[in-house]
Chain A
Amino acid sequence: MVVVVVDALNPEQGLYLLLQVLELRGDVILNLNAVDESKKAGVNVDVKELSKHTGVHVVETVAVTGEGVPKLLDTIVHVYETRPVHSPVFFDYGEKVEFWIQKISSMLDCSRNFPGRWLAIRFIEDDELVNRVCEKLPSIDPELRKELSLELATQRHKHIDVMIREAYSGRNTRKRLPLDEAIDHVLTHRFLGIPIFLAIIYLVFQLTFEIAQPLADFIENGITHLADFITRSLGSGLVSSFISEGLVEGVGAVLVFTPNIFLLFLAMGILEESGYLPRAAFVMDRIMYAMKLSGRSFVSLILGFGCNVPAILSTRSIPDPKERLITIMISPFITCSARLPVYVLITGIFFPEKAGTMLFLIYTSSILITGISALLLNRMLFKGSPVPLIMELPRYRRPTLKGLILYMWSKGKHFLQKAGTIILFASMIIWFLSTFPLGTSMEDSYAATLGKFVQPLLRPLGYDWKITTSLIFGMAAKEVVVSSLANLYGGQGKFMDNLARELDPVTAFSLLFFIMAYVPCFATLAVVRSETGSTKWMIFTLIYGLAVAYILALMVKTLGGLLT
């Protein structure tokens, strides 16, 4: 069974899809959504008339308030149980097209159980799928095929015009809502569009930092008290050290950033639900175009601000294989929310006055690096041509509280899950490596040995073995950098002062850039491998990221050294 969801106010494209689905099967339900908006615009829809024309059940809903959803569910059950016996309504596509549909469907030899008419139509429209399910394909003159496919589209639109003319009243498609038009005029303005986009993103990061800080401080106090409490009640044995330093402080150091992450998603939710995000893709497309990418990969990359894994998974919707591969390769440079804790920690210690600005700076450079990498990869791997941008700009909507909370929770819970699994596990390992061999000081622990072994490589950047060790652990998940720094620099509460004493601001600033670009976490690497289907690209991502991070950090360090 298929439910086709159609925008009640502007149903053309949705009804087109419905007609295409009806060519395939009859157990379809038409769901007219956002009827509240169409009613507000003074549009009247005759549901019975629509149902008569299409031969399917029509249900009106308002998804944001949940109105009509129970009825939709009932209808789904009803259609499933009754299984319409009658064949779907037949839409006549004109004499010539019907003649060829007949002829082609008799020639098509298909082992799978698809309707012949549908297969013939898909064949006329040159769908790859037909090649896959049919063994024997008739040959067709490409000119005739073009003519027929055009006629098909024209006829479908004619049927839709008839439906709308008879079922709709009070609709004017030429005029848009005046307020929408006014907002668009400003937000996509010739000169103001891009500055406004940057200003909005800047504001998002400022708010993320400023509002979250008191909450983060509160959580931090709680965790310090909890760790103290455990130490006091269990004494100073190995078990107590494991629980308080290993688990509570390790995981706690990361949990502190929960407010930042949830607020970031709240802001992203507002941008997406209000309808601004597609406008942002529209405004930025000319720049994406310069990198031979499109607004589509822009949307995937935007997802990357949450987590690189879903961003890479979402590239499946990019039809062009070249664009898809490049989007996958550059996604890890987009600063995911896992890196935010590290940024917030370091900017908070070294640049407390300008934390918001620093965050903005690091995010813009991450976008810049992503763009330059896209261009570079395009040059290196393909002499690629750009991909088209065809996108619908939705109407502006007021975000609903329910929608925002859902959005925030569904994206943010990932962070909490990670804290309970990967980060908990990593904290245990870090504790183990920095405590054993027993009886030695931190300087001689396994962690120190590991860090000191790799550290010569990072010496030009001015990172000591503790930072090196944290960076190595951070490969598991970037948040782990925070918990390992906390562990190696003397535990919750004290480690910030120790860090401030041992690092100079320039090195700290270069560290920010290093963390932005170096190795994406294991999960991301695994997805790169599974999505590109080759280990080669995964290793490439790894080495490319490390090289960029190294060069970038060295540049920042050298320039910073000259300036201060």
Chain B
Amino acid sequence: MKLSEVPQGLRVRIKAVNIEGELRERILGLGFVPGCEITVGISAPLGNPRMYIVGGKMITLRDSEANMIEVEPVGVCTLEETAEGETYVVESIWRGRNFCARMRRMGIRPGMVLKVLSKHPHVTVETIEGARISLKHGEARKIMVSRRERHWQ
């Protein structure tokens, strides 16, 4: 996943820095080093640049640079990458106001707990209230979840 695509508030681990030239040394020196964890902070008005918290410092990067940094979410994955039969907490839903609104109407919102029943042909999840929701794979890729088994009764 590209750093510029990670929704606000998530913690990610850096996998690769694909920036060339003198900018590369600067980015590495600031702590954008493979293996390091950083947090995605607020974005400027108009969505770009964004702020990243690296080792306690706030560093701004434009999306044009951030999209050359490969990252993976820490403790978070997309609903698509989950295992059948396990339970997860929805961390965030991203990309687009309309999509978020549609998910909310279907009953999926950040903070809720859900159990993945099956992943084929569609991703079917069960909410804590027992309601079953079926999602397309593309939709499941836009929902970030983390594992938190203890909440499930």
Contact = CB atoms under 8 A, between A and B. Distances in A.
B41 to A, nearest CB: 8
Given A174-B11, A390-B27, A13 B57 contact: yes
Contacts of A149: 24-25, 28
A154 B33 contact: yes
Q: Which range holds the interface residue count of chain A? A: 35 or more
Given A16-B29, A174-B53, A285-B49, A391 B59 contact: yes
A388 B28 CA distance: 15
Interface residues of B, number: 39
A157 B36 contact: yes
A314 to B, nearest CB: 19
Interface stretch (A185-193, A327-335, A542-550): A185-193
B146 to A, nearest CB: 15
A153 B44 CA distance: 29
Interface in B38-74: 39, 42-49, 51, 53-62, 64-65
B29 A282 contact: no
Contacts of B128: none
B23 interface: yes
B34 interface: yes
A481 to B, nearest CB: 38
A173 interface: yes
A166 interface: no
Given A153-B29, A283-B44, A389 B61 contact: yes
B26 interface: yes
A419 to B, nearest CB: 39
B44 A193 contact: yes
B59 A390 contact: yes
A226 interface: no
B133 interface: no
Given A12-B55, A174-B11, A392-B57, A188 B64 contact: no
Contacts of A83: none
B28 A282 contact: no
Contacts of A217: none
A487 B11 CA distance: 66
A184 interface: yes
Interface string B1-45: 000000000010000010001111111111101111001001111
B31 A295 contact: no
A388 B17 CA distance: 15
Given A173-B56, A174-B53, A282-B49, A13 B31 contact: yes
B33 A389 contact: no
Given A13-B29, A392-B57, A289 B62 contact: yes
Nearest to A157: B33
Given A12-B57, A174-B53, A388 B64 contact: yes
Nearest to A15: B55
B36 A282 contact: no
B54 to A, nearest CB: 8
A9 B56 contact: yes
Nearest to A12: B55
B65 A388 contact: yes
Contacts of B57: 7, 10, 12-13, 392
Interface of B: 11, 17, 21-31, 33-36, 39, 42-49, 51, 53-62, 64-65
Given A12-B56, A126-B21, A157-B31, 14 more contacts: A9-B56, A10-B55, A12-B54, A13-B30, A13-B57, A154-B34, A176-B53, A188-B45, A283-B44, A285-B44, A389-B62, A390-B60, A392-B57, A393-B51
7 contacts: A12-B56, A13-B29, A149-B24, A157-B31, A193-B45, A289-B48, A393-B51
Interface of A: 7, 9-10, 12-13, 16-17, 20, 125-126, 149-150, 153-154, 157, 171, 173-174, 176, 184-185, 188-194, 282-283, 285-286, 289, 295, 319, 386, 388-393
